[in-house]
Amino acid sequence: MTLFLQRVFDSFANGSAYAALAVAISMVFRSTGVLNLAQGQMAMLSAYIAVVFAAGADPTVAFSGWLTPFATPWPIWAAVAGAVVVSAAAGALLEYTVIRPMRGDPVPTIGATLGLYLLIGVFVAKHFGGRQRFLGSPFPQEHTDRFIIGGARLWFDTIGLTLVMLAAIGVLALVQRTTKVGLAFRAITSNRDSSALVGIRVEWVVMGGWAVAAALGGLAGGLIAGELNVRPDMMERLLIFGLAAATLGGLRSPALALAGGYLFAFAETMMAGYIGFIDSQVTLVWALGMLIVVLSLRPSGLLSRKAGRGALQT
Amino acid sequence: MTAPDEPLAPDPEPLVFRLEPTEPLQPPATPEPPVAPEALAPPEPPAAPVLDDAADAEVVTGDASPTLASKQKRTAPWPALLTAVSLMVIAALVVVVPLQASSTFVTDVTQLTAFCLVFAGLWLLTHRMGLLSVGHGALTGVGAYAALHAVNDFGLPPMLMPLAGFAAGCAVGALLGVPALRLPKAYLALLTLSAAVAFPIVLRQLDGPLPVTLDSEFIPPTWTGIASNDEHIWEFWVVVAWVAVAFWMLHRLLTGPIGRALVATRDEPTAAAAFGVSVYRLRLAGVSLSSGLAGLAGGLMLVPVNFNDQSLYPEELSIKLFALTIAFGSTAIGGSRLIMTVPAAAVLVLLPVWLVDRPGWVTQGGWIGFLKSEFFLYAVLLLVAAYARSRRSQAVRVYDA
């Protein structure tokens, strides 16, 4: 029982990151119909930006010169916050310069997101040498910083990461439900053309959606960096799990995407822990298998009432 | 009230729908009611093997009359004589080049030839069916894995091993297509990208971290007159023969009623369904065929390389394949023609050889190295091609409006 409980606790950190990426992917897909395959790379870049802020003028961290503008290293929480702001600005800029000109056409839009995927990867390789970096966690990480529950250890770091991600997603949901901006966002996800007719500035709202999604992904990247270290491929697995989690809600339900993130992390941890021939790498394959099963049984998402027999959908 | 066995009166106007904004239609002389998809057009005489995409400039009608078919022939962009001359030149190059060039170059060109099949599959999927796959690199690897183990474990003759790759590719493509094709197009991209990321992990789990060698060699038969140490020439000809047959069959398929029905599912799925086309099944068959072509190419990759390894099929390969398909199949470069798979494969294989992506260029070559890095070029290619394609589709929408 203790071991089971420990594995449940261990799945919280990954689950938070999967959930954040899944919610970000769902937000973008709801508002624009675009599947942003570069979401993971954007989060990875955000983690590197946090490293830049946190490293300051540390001579052991050899970045390109113009990427170390601050002589004094920032606290990690401030570095992550700074990276989130930069990510939000970059997300809005990318929507304006790259995605908007595609006008929602699916083939070029997905091509553009893959172009961003490669571009961010090569940018990181150029400026950070493709090497692994250490950022650390904004939460206490000493060996005594933990609770013991039923014999299992629940680290402060895991609690902090989970609570911050849940709080961020909760605030986002609250804003969507209670503010005019949120109402406008929900309106354009329901009917874009009618929203424009009633005076909603659709392009601004969509740009804001991209900014918030990028910020959420950036927050996930900055916080999970304390667990994974920062490296160019740190988000590949997270992206696949995030995509899989987002499909649980038919790519349109942030709540189900959130639940899916924790569900997939739980399943991953349990499979790696209890099934002998599945190591931590192969769990990715099982995530793909679960994805295929979910899409086969409930094509429009777990809670959708659509039968999903729409072979004519485009 | 109409008697049950009384034939329905034909529609006053035949059901005609346009796939591309081309020249005005000539209404068929004798209207007929809608018929089964196999009969969307009358059987065509054996066509000259012109590797162009006539369907992108053609019209699908419920009654493709002989007048319209002959008009399509007259407006074909490549006259038959030019096609025949081109094929003779290509045949001469296929014979002469491997005899004169170095073995390294011939091996590269052999891989290039096999990659043409991957691009043909992607071209079918992207440009003929309007679907998206970001996992054809993984499907190529699936074909290579199946072909290798069909020879090593089941004793399949190595000459036939690409068929095992084809079967495996079809099966995996169908597995991905069954759930994804009932949903918006983005889902197929999502599933195939996931497969592309997962495949190297699966292969390492199945075959271990070290490369697995093919337990057979391609020794040139004595009747060819090729020395046994010049096996690269024989390997090249074997691959060319397989690719030529596959291209010919694909061309015949796509210029027939099935090819037209595939285009109909891309542009007018509702109208295609009204004509009796099972859109879902046809799309599934198309995805499966496209994946099978990638698997066939994977089997052919073993001919020059003789081993399989997880590092040969990373997810970046799938993204590169997608990028070049978008770039070389759009109006940006060359138009949507099957023959454009050849320059696409040439860029894929020869760019890292001839150009810039030496170790350390990206990280140590400064901004010049960054700009010349392979991934940067692919990223720019993708963005430019995507922009050009979106402009084209906007123009089509405006024209239709």
Q: Cβ distance B37 to B275 under 8 Å? A: yes
The chain B residue lying nearest A281, using CA atoms, is B201
B280 interface with A at CB cutoff 8 Å: yes
Q: Which residue in A44, A42, A120, A121 sits closest to A88, CA to CA?
A: A42
Residues of A in contact with B385 (CB under 8 A): 108, 111
Establish, for the pair of chains A and B, how many residue pairs have beta carbons separated by less than 8 Å. Answer: 180
Residues B197 and B219 in one domain: yes
What is the number of other CB atoms lying within 10 angstroms of the CB of residue B91? 12
Identify whether residues B320 and B400 lie together within a single domain: no
| Residues B306, B372 share a domain | no
* pLDDT on residue B9: 44
Do residues B68 and B59 touch, judged by C-beta distance below 8 A? yes
pLDDT of residue B93: 86
DSSP result, B336-360 = S-GGGHHHHHHHHHHHHHHSS--TT
Question: What confidence score (pLDDT) does residue A312 get?
Answer: 41
E strand spans, B265-398: 307-308
Alpha carbon of A112: minimum distance to chain B alpha carbons (Å): 5
Nearest to B173 by CA among B294, B325, B280: B294
CB contact under 8 A, B390 and A281: no
Question: Is B132 in contact with A106 (Cβ distance < 8 A)?
Answer: yes
- Residue pLDDT, tens place only, A194-223: 888 988 888 898 899 899 989 988 888 888
Is B12 within a domain?
no
Helices B257-267/B279-305 angle, 10° precision: 110
B247 vs chain A: nearest CA distance in angstroms? Answer: 25
- Residue located via tokens 């009623």: B257
Give A244's contacts in chain B (Cβ within 8 Å). 194
Domain assignment present for residue B390? The answer is yes
SS3 B129: coil
Quick check: is B196 in a domain? yes
B202 CB within 8 Å of a chain A CB: yes
User: CB neighbours (10 Å) of residue A170?
Assistant: 12
Assess whether B169 and B188 both reside in one domain: yes
The tokens for B293 are 């072509």
Q: How confident is the model at residue A131 (pLDDT cuts 50, 70, 90)?
A: confident
- What's the DSSP call for residue B153? T
Give the whole-angstrom CA distance, residue B83 versus residue B248. 14
* A114 vs B: CB within 8 A: yes
What mean pLDDT do residues A135-159 have?
A: 81
Residues of B in contact with A282 (CB under 8 A): 201-202, 205
* Chain A residues lying within 8 Å of B186, measured CB to CB: 29, 33-35, 106, 110, 251
Q: Which pair of tokens denotes residue B171?
A: 């099966």
Q: Are A129 and A120 in contact (CB under 8 A)?
A: no
Q: What angle do CA B189, B193, B195 make, to 5 degrees?
A: 120
Given a cut of 70, the residues of chain B with pLDDT beneath it are 1-79, 329-336, 354-372, 393-401
Chain A positions touching B201 (Cβ under 8 A) are: 281-282, 284-285
Chain A residues with CB under 8 Å of B185 CB are 106-107, 314
A162 within 8 A of A266, measured Cβ to Cβ: no
Q: Do A243 and B175 touch (CB under 8 A)?
A: no
- Chain A segment 12-41 residues within 8 A of B by beta carbon are 29, 33-35, 37
Domains of chain B: total: 2
Alpha-carbon distance of B199 to B186, in angstroms, equals 20
Closest CA to A85 of A176, A229, A219: A219
Do B323 and A121 lie within an 8 Å CB cutoff?
A: no
pLDDT tens track for B360-371: 555 555 666 666
Question: How far is residue A235's CA from residue A221's CA, in Å, rounded to a whole number?
Answer: 8
Joined together, the tokens standing for residue B265 give: 């599912």
Q: Are residues B258 and B374 part of one domain? A: no
**B-contacting residues of A 116-155, CB under 8 Å?**
116-119, 121-123, 125-126, 129-130
Does residue B305 form part of some domain? yes
Of B178, B273, B382, the CB nearest to A111: B382
| B57 lies within 8 A of chain A by CB | no
In this structure, chain B runs to a length of 401
Nearest Cα residue in chain A from B382 = A115
* Same structural domain, B193 and B125: yes
HEC letters along chain A: CHHHHHHHHHHHHHHHHHHHHHHHHHHHHHHHCCCCCCHHHHHHHHHHHHHHHHHCCCCCCCCCHHHCCCCCCCCHHHHHHHHHHHHHHHHHHHHHHHHHHHCCCHHHHHHHHHHHHHHHHHHHHHHHCCCCECCCCCCCCCCCCEEEECCEEEEHHHHHHHHHHHHHHHHHHHHHHHCHHHHHHHHHHHCHHHHHHCCCCHHHHHHHHHHHHHHHHHHHHHHHHHHHCECCCCCHHHHHHHHHHHHHCCCCCHHHHHHHHHHHHHHHHHHHHHCCCCCCCCHHHHHHHHHHHHHHHCCCCCCCCCCCCCCCCC
Say whether A314 and B269 touch across the interface (CB within 8 A).
yes
Q: Does B382 touch chain A (CB under 8 A)?
A: yes
Q: Does B87 touch chain A (CB under 8 A)?
A: no
Interface check B132 vs A, CB under 8 A: yes
B392 to chain A, any CB pair closer than 8 A? The answer is: no
Q: Which residues of A touch B194 (CB under 8 A)?
A: 240, 243-244, 287-288, 291
B204 vs A contacts (CB less than 8 Å):
281
Neighbour-count burial of A169, counting CB atoms closer than 10 A to its CB (0-12 exposed, 13-18 middle, 19+ buried): buried
Res A182 pLDDT > 50: yes
DSSP B179-243: HHTTS-THHHHHHHHHHHHHHHHHHHHHH-SS-EE-S---PPPGGGT--GGGHHHHHHHHHHHHH
* B249, B259 Cβ separation under 8 angstroms: no
Within an 8 Å CB–CB cutoff, is residue A289 touching chain B?
A: no
Token code pair at residue A117:
């995927």
**Is residue B243 less than 8 Å (CB to CB) from chain A?**
no
| CB spacing of B189 vs A243 below 8 angstroms | no
Give yes or no: residues B96 and B147 share one domain: yes
- What length is written for chain A? 314
Assess contact for B221 and A274: CB atoms under 8 A: no
What is residue B7's three-state secondary structure?
coil
Cα–Cα distance, A174 to B325 (Å, whole number): 43
B40/A291: higher pLDDT: A291
Contact A118 B375 (CB under 8 A): yes
Residue B186 in contact with partner chain A when CB distance is under 8 A: yes
**B146 and B276: one domain?**
yes
B160 touches chain A (CB under 8 A): no
How would you class A1 by CB atoms within 10 Å of its CB: exposed for 0-12, middle for 13-18, buried for 19 or more? exposed
Q: What's the pLDDT at A310?
A: 42
Q: Is B28 in CB contact (< 8 Å) with chain A?
A: no
Closest-CA distance of chain B to residue A106, Å: 7
DSSP assignment letter at B124 = I
CB contact, 8 Å: A102 with chain B? yes
Same domain, B302 and B211: yes
Nearest CA of chain A to the CA of B390: how many Å? 5
* A153-177 per-position pLDDT tens digit: 888 888 888 898 889 888 988 888 8
Q: What's the count of helices (H) and strands (E) in chain B, helices before strands?
A: 15, 4
* Best B122, B123, B176, B193 residue to mutate vs chain A (most A CBs within 10 Å): B193
Predicted pLDDT of residue A61: 53
ipTM score: 0.80
Q: What is the mean pLDDT of residues A136-161?
A: 82
pLDDT digits 0-9 by tens, A39-96: 888 989 998 888 888 876 654 555 555 555 566 778 888 989 999 999 999 999 999 9
Give how far B360 is from chain A: nearest CA, Å: 9
Of A107, A287, A312, the CB nearest to B279: A312
Which domain does B398 fall in, by range?
356-401
Contact B383 A98 (CB under 8 A): yes
- The residue among B45, B42, B32, B39 whose CA lies nearest residue B73 is B45
Backbone angles phi, psi at A19, to 5 degrees: -65, -40
CATH number of the CATH domain containing B104: 1.10.3470
Nearest by Cα to B199 from B286, B102, B134, B129? B134
| Helix (H) / strand (E) containing B60 | strand B60-61
Neighbouring CB atoms inside 10 A of A51's CB total 25
Residue in B180, B204, B389 nearest the CB of A295: B180
- A275 touching B (Cβ < 8 Å): no
Please check whether residues B295 and B369 belong to one and the same domain. Answer: no
In a domain, B54, yes or no: no
- Please give the Cα distance from A38 to B259 (Å, whole number): 33
